């Protein structure tokens, strides 16, 4: 493996270790190997770097029908029949932010990246799991809690709920407060329409544009809060000098496909 690629992946593992120890989801003496997710080798990992330090990250798996997903731990006999088919979902795991960089908009930035990958993948659903503490946050951004839960085998057996997100949270503001839609989904949807990644009918596009106007005005009138959530989907918030802007990179761990991004192997 390329030395730089290995260093970047280890930076992600170090981030996970710091974040999950802080949240008491890993033992105090856990090492880097404890931070490797089972599907890292099949995932794209979106990660923000501040210099050489990974400060926010999320892993996104693009499963095929035969792929065994992490959330299947809740279902000994496989997903229920009423679950979306695997080839129509993304599985999101290991969303984390460095404890010293919290409350700076980085969770929103990672959510935007996940939603953008959902759009460009042509799939419609996101499947993930969360503990009780973070469940309200996921509900606010449009995820639906299912009746299913399990003891997470890699995070100290903490009870996790299976939750599902739908592409309509962004394209139709379904299940999402309009203010939340403007903060998280607006820029991603407009960017995807502009680039041709998202196909919509005239009435749906008109709705998006009408709803977008107030948020555009709001941004011009209200100074941006202190944030490192720099995004390619809209203006930086705030507009920082280039040397102060964290760099987003995608680490492609799968050996099945080639990409301009760094190719890695987990482990």
Burial of 247 (0-12, 13-18, 19+ CB in 10 A): exposed
Nearest to 39 by CA among 86, 103, 109, 106: 86
Residue 232 tokens, joined:
């390619």
pLDDT in tens, 85-112: 999 999 999 999 999 988 888 888 899 9
pLDDT in tens, 167-218: 999 999 999 988 889 889 998 999 899 889 998 889 988 989 888 888 877 7
Instruction: Decide if pLDDT at 4 tops 80.
Output: no
Please state the domain count of the chain.
Answer: 1
Backbone angles phi, psi at 99, to 5 degrees: -55, -30
Place 231 in a pLDDT band, splitting at 50, 70 and 90: low
The CATH number covering residue 100 comes to 3.40.630.30
Q: Which domain holds residue 73?
A: 3-263
Q: How far apart are CA 257 and CA 177, in angstroms?
A: 38
Place 230 in a pLDDT band, splitting at 50, 70 and 90: very low
Q: How far apart are CA 223 and CA 238, in angstroms?
A: 8
Place 56 in a pLDDT band, splitting at 50, 70 and 90: very high
Q: What is the mean pLDDT of the chain?
A: 83
Nearest to 168 by CA among 111, 212, 119: 119
pTM metric for this prediction:
0.85
160 CA to centre of own chain: 17
Place 50 in a pLDDT band, splitting at 50, 70 and 90: confident
Return the bridge partners of 251, or none: 45, 262
Place 65 in a pLDDT band, splitting at 50, 70 and 90: confident
In Å, how far are 17, 53, 226, 230 from 246, measured between CA atoms?
Answer: 20, 9, 14, 7
Report DSSP state, residue 237. S
Instruction: Decide if pLDDT at 256 tops 90.
Output: no
Q: What percent of the chain has pLDDT over 90?
A: 50
């Amino acid at each position: 493996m390329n030395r730089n690629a290995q260093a970047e992946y280890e930076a992600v593992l170090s981030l996970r270790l710091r974040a999950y120890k802080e949240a008491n989801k890993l033992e105090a003496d856990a090492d880097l190997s404890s931070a490797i997710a089972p599907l890292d080798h099949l995932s794209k990992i979106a990660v923000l770097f501040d210099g050489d330090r990974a400060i926010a990250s999320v892993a996104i798996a693009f499963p095929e029908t035969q792929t065994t997903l992490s959330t299947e731990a809740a279902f000994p006999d496989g997903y229920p029949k009423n679950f979306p088919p695997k080839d129509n979902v993304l599985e999101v795991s290991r969303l984390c932010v460095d404890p010293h960089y919290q409350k700076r908009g980085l969770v929103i930035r990672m959510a935007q990246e996940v939603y953008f990958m959902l759009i460009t993948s042509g799939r419609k659903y996101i499947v993930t799991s969360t503990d009780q503490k973070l469940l309200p946050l996921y509900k606010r951004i449009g995820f639906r809690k299912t009746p299913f839960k399990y003891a997470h085998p890699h995070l100290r057996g903490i009870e996790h709920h299976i939750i599902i997100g739908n592409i309509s949270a962004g394209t139709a503001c379904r299940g999402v407060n309009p203010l939340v839609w403007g903060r998280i989904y607006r820029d991603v949807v407009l960017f995807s329409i502009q680039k041709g990644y998202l196909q919509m009918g005239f009435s749906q596009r008109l709705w998006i544009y009408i709803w977008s106007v107030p948020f555009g005005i709001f941004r011009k009138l209200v100074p941006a809060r202190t944030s490192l959530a720099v995004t390619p989907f809209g203006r930086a918030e705030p507009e920082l000098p280039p040397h102060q802007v964290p760099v987003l990179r995608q680490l492609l761990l799968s050996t099945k496909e080639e990409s301009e991004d760094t190719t890695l192997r987990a482990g």
